[in-house]
Every structure is written in structure tokens, then in C-alpha cells.
Amino acid sequence: MPGPTITISVYDDDTQLLVGLRRHDPDACTCMVKRFAPLVFARALRLVGDADEAEGVLQTTFIKACNAIDSFDGASGLGTWIYRIATNEGLMLLRARRQSLALDDVAETLQPGDLPDSRVAWPEDPLRSTLDSELRGQIEAAIAGLPEGLRLVVMLRDVEGLNTEETAAQLGLSPGAVKVRLHRARMRLRESLAGYMARPEEIDDAEAAR
Amino acid sequence: MPKLHANLPPCYDLARQLSAYLDGELPADLCHDLEAHLGGCPDCRVVLDTLGRTVQIVHALSDTPVSLPADVEARLLSRLTGA
């Protein structure tokens, strides 16, 4: 059953939303949650791997964002700023959980298992050009299945959009180690997706549906 | 199935460079070697193409809308507004 309808159209862009947040308008706060919380929660869940802990990261992120909104300089987008807070909170939680990030759970060099195994081409399929719920499920499961030392690197580089140096600084790795881990993570994700992406019956289904 | 490239050192060496190649972070000389190899190796072309599409899919996670569980949202709003 849908919840109460909340009018958030008064803040239809982030600039207006920021003005509202600085006025401490409750509607602006609700709007910020509606606009950014889903992606913050999804990112937190990928980082920490536990729904309860991800909710903790979500709440801390928004509390910190609200408290710091007056000092936000607007240099990056509001969403980018909030997502960075969430990433920092998630990494802090991982560090607190086990004193340090489990970054040494993977070797720094390419392993035999990282060599390409699947050589089957993925058909060009319009249905696969968007991240529908099925493909999302496949990639989320593949990311969740990576060891933490690879998962964090691919999360920061390919989802959060940090560059190699920023990722290295966040994780306390050398830039070279980030590149090796990123390659290994992507190759593993490729292998994980291969069975789904190259599955011929999906093409038949797509053809039949046209 | 035997591992692809198990006995092909050039593929083994070059396969390690595909990710950096996609990111435009490969030095020019290695780029040249890799592209020369790709021209004659259909298997590596498939790996490059599918690796690139994997990266696109992962990128798409960054801004694909997802639904937040209603109870999670309600608890967050409650914390923020003190309701």
C-alpha cells in the first residue's frame, strides 16, 4: 500500500533543495531523503554487505549531511557530496568491525583463476542495454561474491567513480595495487556475468516478445 | 573445458592489460602491442568487448534508481525530523 503522498515538486532541482535545507525546511529534508536515500542505501549495502549495518550507514550519512549542510561549498553536486559521506561512513564501519580493511585477502598479482575462461561473445541485445531488475540482480550478486579486497576497489572505482589515486588513498593501497585489483575484480565479474549475458535462450525470448 | 590461453604466453601477458586499456591508462608502447595482438586474436577481442560491457554494467549501478524499503525510509525520516 502506498504511503502518504508528499509534495516535493517545490524542490525540483538541487540548488533550490540546498536553499531549503539551509533554511531547515522539513519538506526539504524529506525531499533530500526521497531523492538520495535509495542510492545511498544501495551503495552502503554493497560496501558493508549487511542490511542492518547499511541502514546505520544511511542514517549516519544523512545526519552528518544535515549537520554539515551549511559548510557544503557546492563545488560538487549535492548527490556526489552525500554519496562521498556515505562511502566514508561505510569504510569507517568496515575498519571498526575488524580493526582494518580485509585488503590482504587477495594476491597483488594476476592469478591463474583470473585468466579469461569464457570466450563466448555476448549478443547485442537491446533488452540488455538497460540495467533491468534481472541484470541488476546478476551484477549485484557477482559483486557481493567478490572478496572484500577486490569488492571495495571495484566499488570505489567503477560505482563511486573515484580515480585510481583517490581509491588508493581511501584504501591505503598503492596506485599500482589498485589497478591490479581492479583488473582482477572486473575479470571475475565478467566471468560471473558470462553465463547470463551469453545465454542464447534469452535471445529467443526477446525475439519472441517482439 | 581447458583454460583459454593456457599455452599462449602473449595472450597471458596482454590479458593483464585489458582493464588499463579500457581506462585509457596503458602506456603507448603497450597499447600498440595490445592492439597488434587484438587484430589477430578473436578470443582476446571477445574478452575485451565483454570486459568493457561488464564495466558499463557496473557503472550503471551508480545512477540506476532503486527502491528504498519503506520501513527503512520511515525510520530515517523519523531520525531526521525527530518525529
pLDDT digits (tens, 9 = 90+) for B59-80: 998 887 778 999 999 999 999 9
- Write the pLDDT tens digit of every residue in A178-210: 999 999 999 999 999 988 887 755 445 555 555
Establish if B61 belongs to a structural domain. yes
Confidence of residue A129 (pLDDT cuts 50, 70, 90): low
- Closest chain A residue to the Cα of B62, Cα to Cα: A159
Which residues does chain B have within 8 Å of residue A194's beta carbon, measured at their own beta carbons? 50
CATH number assigned to the domain covering A104-209: 1.10.10.10
Confidence of residue A94 (pLDDT cuts 50, 70, 90): confident
Q: What is the arithmetic mean of pLDDT over A23-33?
A: 89
Q: What is the pLDDT of residue A141?
A: 93
Report how far Cα A157 is from the mean position of its chain's Cα atoms. 10
- CA-wise closest residue to B70 among A2, A7, A31: A2
Establish if B32 belongs to a structural domain. yes
CB A93 within 8 A of CB A100: no
Q: What is the pLDDT of residue A69?
A: 92
Q: Where, residue-wise, is CATH 1.10.10.10 in chain A?
A: 104-209
Length of chain B: 83
- CA-wise closest residue to B77 among A80, A69, A62: A62
Establish if B3 belongs to a structural domain. no
CB A12 within 8 A of CB A52: no
> What is the count of structural domains for chain B?
1
Which residues does chain B have within 8 Å of residue A189's beta carbon, measured at their own beta carbons? 54, 58
CATH class, domain A9-98, is mainly alpha
Establish if B22 belongs to a structural domain. yes
Q: Between the CA atoms of A194, A196, A197 and A199, what dihedral angle is there, to the nearest 10 degrees?
A: 100
Instruction: With CB atoms and an 8 Å threshold, state whether A131 touches B62.
Output: no
Q: What is the pLDDT of residue A98?
A: 66
Establish if B2 belongs to a structural domain. no
Q: What is the pLDDT of residue A128?
A: 60
Q: What is the pLDDT of residue A112?
A: 61
Residue A10 has pLDDT above 90, yes or no: no
Establish if B35 belongs to a structural domain. yes
C-alpha cell at B40: 589477430
Establish if B4 belongs to a structural domain. no
Q: What is the arithmetic mean of pLDDT over A154-162?
A: 93
Q: What is the pLDDT of residue A11?
A: 82
Q: What is the arithmetic mean of pLDDT over A64-73?
A: 91
B60 touches chain A (CB under 8 A): yes
What is the residue range of B76's domain? 9-81
More confident residue, A96 or A163: A163
Q: What is the pLDDT of residue A123?
A: 78
- Write the pLDDT tens digit of every residue in A167-185: 999 998 999 999 999 999 9
Q: Where, residue-wise, is CATH 1.10.1740.10 in chain A?
A: 9-98
Which residues does chain A have within 8 Å of residue B43's beta carbon, measured at their own beta carbons? 116, 119
